[in-house]
Amino acid sequence: MTTTTKKTAERLIKKYPNRRLYDTETSTYITLTDVKQLVLDQEDFKVIDAKSNEDLTRSILLQIILEEESGGLPMFSSSMLSQIIRFYGHAMQGMMGTYLEKNIQAFIDIQAKLADQSKNLYEGKAMNPEVWSQFMNMQAPMMQGMMTSYIEQSKNMFVQMQEQMQNQAKTMFATFPFTPGGAVNANNASNAPATPQGNPEPEKK
């Protein structure tokens, strides 16, 4: 017997000029706290401008992050935020975004595996928040070691990738008569035609 799963439609939230957010599913006005709860509940949603239909989802999520960072336990230090800002407009901006996304996903995967392990310890039942907090505190050193090892591997892979890119660039520019610095390539300089000599300067009388 084939079973079909019903796909939940994306929840639509409209933002009006008065900055109020309207949830079309519940037909009620909601706050950023409510949107944060949707994120925690892993519900798919989209925030649009009520007039222009412009997608404002990222803007709303950034507002939630700003509120959380303004609280007592921020995740991002000033140094880290400065480093991120410096990547905007940088040639590596796209790669940096992908790198951060992949590393966060890796951390989430580690958490999911730990959650599965905890269920096995409690005969398939999820831990209550207090026990889970104690369990995570016990696992913190192991997680720190795993993340350190993962980051070190990522760093080494990134360095290798940079070296490969540099070697490819050298190989590519070696086929041109001029190097990026403007000097004539030594391999092609010997094949270049001799420059004709001009007329000698007349002697002064």
| Residue 85 located in a structural domain | no
| Residue 184 located in a structural domain | no
Task: Quick: pLDDT tens for 77-91.
Answer: 999 999 999 999 988
| Residue 48 located in a structural domain | yes
Residues 97 and 168 reside in one and the same domain: yes
| Residue 204 located in a structural domain | no
Average pLDDT over residues 176-197: 54
- pTM score over 0.75: no
Residues forming beta bridges with residue 12, ordered by sequence position: 46
Residues forming beta bridges with residue 22, ordered by sequence position: 14, 29
Give the chain's domain count: 2
| Residue 126 located in a structural domain | yes
Task: Quick: pLDDT tens for 136-186.
Answer: 666 666 666 666 776 777 777 777 777 787 787 788 777 766 555 555 555
Distance of CA 170 to the CA centre of its chain: 29
| Residue 148 located in a structural domain | yes
Residues forming beta bridges with residue 4, ordered by sequence position: none
> Does pLDDT of 4 surpass 60?
no
Residues forming beta bridges with residue 55, ordered by sequence position: 48
pLDDT class of 53 with cuts at 50, 70, 90: very high
Q: What is the pLDDT of residue 1?
A: 44
Residues 54 and 127 reside in one and the same domain: no
Residues 118 and 164 reside in one and the same domain: yes
| Residue 170 located in a structural domain | yes
Residues 167 and 98 reside in one and the same domain: yes
Residues 120 and 45 reside in one and the same domain: no
| Residue 37 located in a structural domain | yes
Choose between 65 and 73: higher pLDDT: 65
Residues 104 and 162 reside in one and the same domain: yes
Residues 102 and 147 reside in one and the same domain: yes
Q: What is the pLDDT of residue 113?
A: 78
Residues 66 and 97 reside in one and the same domain: no
Average pLDDT over residues 47-65: 96
The DSSP symbol for 179 reads: -
Measured distance CA(31)–CA(14) in Å, rounded:
12
pLDDT class of 125 with cuts at 50, 70, 90: low
Range of the domain at 121: 92-176
